[in-house]
Amino acid sequence: MTRRTPNWAAAQDVRAATLSRALPLRQLRLLLPLGIGLACLWLLQGRLSTLDMRAVTQVITTTHPAQWLAAAGATALSFWAIGTYDAVMHRHLRTGVPPRVARITGAGSVAIAQVLGLGLLTGALARWRMLPGARPGMAAAVTAAVSGSFLAAWALLAAVAAIAVPAIAMPGLAILLIVGACLALPVLAFRHPVLRWRRWSLRLPTLRALGAMTLLAALDILAAATALHVLMPGHLSVDFLLLLPVFTLAIGAGLFSSTPGGAGPFELTLLACLPAIDQEALLGAVLAWRVIYYAIPALLALIPLARPFAVAARLPCTARPDAAALSQASRAECGVARQNGAELLSSGTDSAIVVETGQSLTLLFDAFSGRGDASMLHALRSEAAERTLVPAIYKCSASLAATARAEGWHVLHIADEAVIDPQRFSLDGSQHRQLRRKLRHAAKARVTVSEACPRDATLHRTLAAIDRHWVTQHGTARGLSMGRFDPEYIAGQRLFLAWQAGRIIAFVTFHEARDEMTLDLMRHGPGQPDGVMQALIAAGIVAAQKEGRMFSLAALPARPGGEGPILARLRKWQVRLTGSDGLIRFKEAFAPRRKPLYLAAPTLSALTLAAADLARAIQAPEG
């Protein structure tokens, strides 16, 4: 028998007391909206007592079949939007539920929840029942995310309605706060895609998902209002542009009440905002609308509720590349995948590394293996759509850029790779005059260079101290397609050390693949002699020469040329902003050959968003 210590018992007492205090508060939060809804029902009952109920029911019996058919079509459109909204949320939450199933279960669960009331509870239970094998937590998370985000979208639409129709009473401060919050959310989602607090993290919807959800919420309300409008008797002559904002407010009142179908608050809002309209005819149209928009969808939703979907979760199309695969990559720079969380995306016999940032799924460099044809672009677009991200290609060669352009993608020359053929490299010639001078300075300072084992743990403390000094002098290291110092990361690279008077004063690392070496990290300590970094690079070139590999100094900013004056100015501004002038002079001292590198995306807007998102991820890497 397990003994319980007094401390354990005291902790249990504290926990029980905390729960006992929290439980009434939770119950109050749940029951308060329901109580308000019931109060509205009581008020509505008093109002109905003054109306001619025979005239109300007569509206339903005299509704023309064409009106019922038009309302049914609008209802179908509304529930398509509701189901698609669920599919977007499933994609955002990465549940693996196929879009078609997500649409049907989403629309069905909403149809049942809006009839039964208490939407969070009944909606979660309906989704759980319709998706056998799904965890209760997943169904609850989807329901909560759908409900919360829809209320946010509704608040924005209600604020817009209040602005468009001055007769609708909404405090100006409330409108300002709602619009401000809705404008701030995309900015927050772009700047901080993942919010972290201690051990908790929350991945915000992408801009693509936010835009889709807002449009779908607007389409849902527009179609639902249309269904009500077409069911109104002809003599009411309610202008749709007046009904739509009033309907938007009424829907919100019903949602907050948690009563079945929003009954009570919905009708009271309509009657209060449309006092000049024939009240009996208006309520008759609402009853007809409840039949077509609530009762029939709920009955149809019983089908997937009774016969749940046998859902096979979508298998991921990506996997993490291992060290053996990276060593055989077509581009040595693919080695950065060991640090930036990149995945291997496959399409037939081809594969490529892709990295997910806040707003984009980006194919880095060229094909990891294979030719990288149009099928790879199609796989990239499909996978990006599954994650509600925009697809992009970053720092690819002219060959892949031409393939993308042939597929209708927009392509932009963004950088040049500085390539050296070690077999032809020589320090002779005027183009290497500056380099020779730098190497003489290093030799005069008695600097020596040696290659070291990157897995030698005794070196890591010294290298880490050099890296800290470098960060102090230059700021936080960039990420994504550029490496940052980490012992586990450099353990898979080539490491060269610069020595002076028996101590390490600088180091460089290189990515290594089957046919090439590519420069990655360059770090130096305080008071380094002139020419140290040039000596380290020269040692790397000699090693590549002995091994028959090509050598790359990685990317340089693209030279302005053959483009408009605005883009040329932007390039120069970028160089000044990033402080790349010194790096350009350093690499050009080796007289490398420039190979153009490109950024590509399917549309101009996607290209712009991807460029901004990649710049953010490079300048402020996570971790």
d(CA 401, CA 209): 27
Query: Which DSSP string do the residues of 528-582 spell out, in sequence order?
Result: PPTTHHHHHHHHHHHHHHHHT-EEEEEEEEPPP-SS-HHHHHHHHHHHHHHT-HH
**pTM of the prediction?**
0.81
* Start-to-end Cα distance in the chain: 45
Residue 293 above 90 pLDDT? Answer: yes
Residue 5 banded pLDDT, cuts 50, 70, 90: very low
Structure tokens that stand for 349 in this block: 């016999």
Burial (CB count within 10 angstroms: exposed 0-12, middle 13-18, buried 19+), residue 158 = buried
d(CA 75, CA 222): 10
Residue 29 above 70 pLDDT? Answer: no
Residue 480 above 60 pLDDT? Answer: yes
- Each domain of the chain, given as residue ranges in start order, spans 64-306, 420-556+577-593
Q: Residue 155's pLDDT is what?
A: 86
Query: Which DSSP string do the residues of 80-119 spell out, in sequence order?
Result: HHHHHHHHHHHHHHT----HHHHHHHHHHHHHHHHHHS-H
Q: Which helix (H) or strand (E) holds 351?
A: strand 350-356
Residue 394 above 90 pLDDT? Answer: yes
Q: Residue 96's pLDDT is what?
A: 82
Residue 510 banded pLDDT, cuts 50, 70, 90: very high
Residue 461 above 60 pLDDT? Answer: yes
Lowest-confidence segment of 134-138, 261-265, 512-516, 558-562 by average pLDDT: 558-562
Q: Residue 215's pLDDT is what?
A: 93
Q: Please compute the mean of the pLDDT values over residues 67-95 and round it to a whole number.
A: 93
Residue 213 above 60 pLDDT? Answer: yes
**Interval 46-58: pLDDT, tens:** 555 555 567 667 7
CATH for 420-556+577-593 is 3.40.630.30
Positive or negative: CA dihedral 253, 258, 264, 266: positive
Residue 100 banded pLDDT, cuts 50, 70, 90: confident
Residue 327 banded pLDDT, cuts 50, 70, 90: confident
Q: How many CB atoms lie within 10 A of CB 437?
A: 13
Q: Please compute the mean of the pLDDT values over residues 546-564 and round it to a whole number.
A: 80
Q: Residue 570's pLDDT is what?
A: 60
Q: Return the bridge partners of 390, or none.
A: 360
Q: Residue 565's pLDDT is what?
A: 62
Residue 140 banded pLDDT, cuts 50, 70, 90: confident
Residue 20 banded pLDDT, cuts 50, 70, 90: very low
Residue 169 banded pLDDT, cuts 50, 70, 90: low
Q: Please compute the mean of the pLDDT values over residues 290-311 and round it to a whole number.
A: 86
Of 399, 240, 379, nearest in space to 316 by CA? 379
Looking at per-residue confidence, does 218 or 527 come out higher?
A: 218
Looking at per-residue confidence, does 36 or 120 come out higher?
A: 120
Residue 17 banded pLDDT, cuts 50, 70, 90: very low
Q: Please compute the mean of the pLDDT values over residues 229-253 and round it to a whole number.
A: 85
d(CA 192, CA 211): 17
d(CA 390, CA 338): 23
Query: Residue 72 in contact with residue 300, Cβ under 8 Å?
Result: no
Three-state DSSP at 326 gives helix
Residue 564 above 80 pLDDT? Answer: no
Q: Residue 527's pLDDT is what?
A: 82
